[in-house]
Amino acid sequence: MTSPFHKTLLAVYLIFGNAVSSVKAEQTDEYQEGFLTAYLNRAIEKAMSDNETKDEPLRYGRHITKYVSAPQFGGYVIGKYSYSSKDNAGENGFDARMIRFYVSGTILRDFKYRVQLELKNPAMRDYTLEWARWKELQVKVGQFKRCFTYDNPLNPWDVGMGNYSQLGQHMTALIQDDPSGELGQNGRDIGLQLQGDLFPVGKDGRRLIRYQAAVYNGNGQNKKDNNKQKDWIGNIQVQPIKDLYIGLFGWTGTYTASNGVSVRRNRWALGSIYEHKDWSFRAEYAHHSGRNATDFDTETQSWKEDSRGRADGWYALLGVPFTRWLKVYCCYDVYRKDATFSSMKSIYGICPNFQLHKNLKFQVQYNYINDRTSTDHNYHELWAQAYVRF
């Protein structure tokens, strides 16, 4: 006879086992639904399906109300505990790293819209309208992540480590100030982007070439342009085998700081990304040339003596799956704010990811840091993070 305890244990096992068996360590949609929003999305879909007429020919006009998909809502929270042995670190403790809410959908089949909000410190993150009729040519307008490097466009759920690489953080103004003096602001800008996948090849039908070309204000998220120049960013990527991309990225533009100083920024990056059967690999190098606007003294009308006008960085990351729910990432991550070895900050990190459900993940990360720009050259960091989609 089975006791109530054993019945409860069996139920927990079945639920947990099914959840774990459904997890795949692959890149997820930026706008994937969570525990609660799944019910909301199904209810909206059901309500809209009663009036859906799939066989009716597609028409256009201001009075047309059909051909609109059910909006897909979602959101997630990332909580973090961090410890650092660095002198006067001042950052040990608990924090809500991100609280995001988003919605996406289609209109007239070919037009995709996306909106994403940050709720921790309320701000607009993304708002885009994309014409996506063909794989070969798609047009996107709005505010979105700059198409520079492989690291910057990644969803935080897919980064693997507890944070983006230093290259991504600095070179796109993702988290840290960029080499031109632009404050870190989530790697986003307002603009227009063309992109597409060209030339299907092989038995798997993979697209050999991927391209992106964009023009941005150059002033960051939620800001109008403050000069007469635009930033131009583009990349071209080759997929020699399935799921392996090798890309060359370029960026040219002008940044104008709040002190009225304008500086050129010219950047290039070379990188590769591979996501296949739960294995992950990324490696990139990026270089910047151009002054930092904060290095200009408006009183003396001169640049600081140590202002070199160069910066670079590189990283390599490997993700190894051990089970369906455990994947371990390790990385070697370097950034040089003056492109010299004396300005080098190196991070050696390891980060197990425990993804027990597609909407629930835990991370524990250890970093050993050698920072030649700090008085405390060598120190340790320990992070623990919880990810949940609601």
Which CATH number does the domain housing residue 256 bear? 2.40.160.10
50 located within any domain: no
Model-level pTM?
A: 0.89
Q: Tell me the residue range of the domain where 70 lies.
A: 66-389
244 located within any domain: yes
335 located within any domain: yes
Is there a contact between 152 and 145 (Cβ–Cβ < 8 Å)? Answer: yes
Question: Number of folded domains in the chain?
Answer: 1
**Ordered per-residue pLDDT tens for the chain, 390 residues:** 445 434 443 443 333 333 333 333 334 456 789 999 999 999 999 888 866 555 567 778 888 878 899 999 999 999 999 999 998 877 799 999 999 999 999 999 999 999 999 999 999 999 999 999 999 999 999 999 999 999 999 999 999 999 999 999 999 999 999 999 999 989 999 999 999 999 999 999 999 999 999 999 999 999 999 999 999 999 999 999 999 999 999 999 999 998 899 999 999 999 999 999 999 999 999 999 999 999 998 888 889 877 779 999 999 999 999 999 999 999 999 999 999 999 999 999 999 999 999 999 999 999 999 999 999 999 999 999 999 999
60 located within any domain: no
Q: How far apart are CA 210 and CA 234, in angstroms?
A: 11
- The conformational region for residue 274 under phi > 0 = left, psi -120 to 50 = alpha, else beta, is beta
88 located within any domain: yes
C-alpha closest to that of 35 among 19, 48, 24, 11: 19
1 located within any domain: no
Q: Which residue has the tokens 């991550």?
A: 333
276 located within any domain: yes
341 located within any domain: yes
- The conformational region for residue 117 under phi > 0 = left, psi -120 to 50 = alpha, else beta, is beta
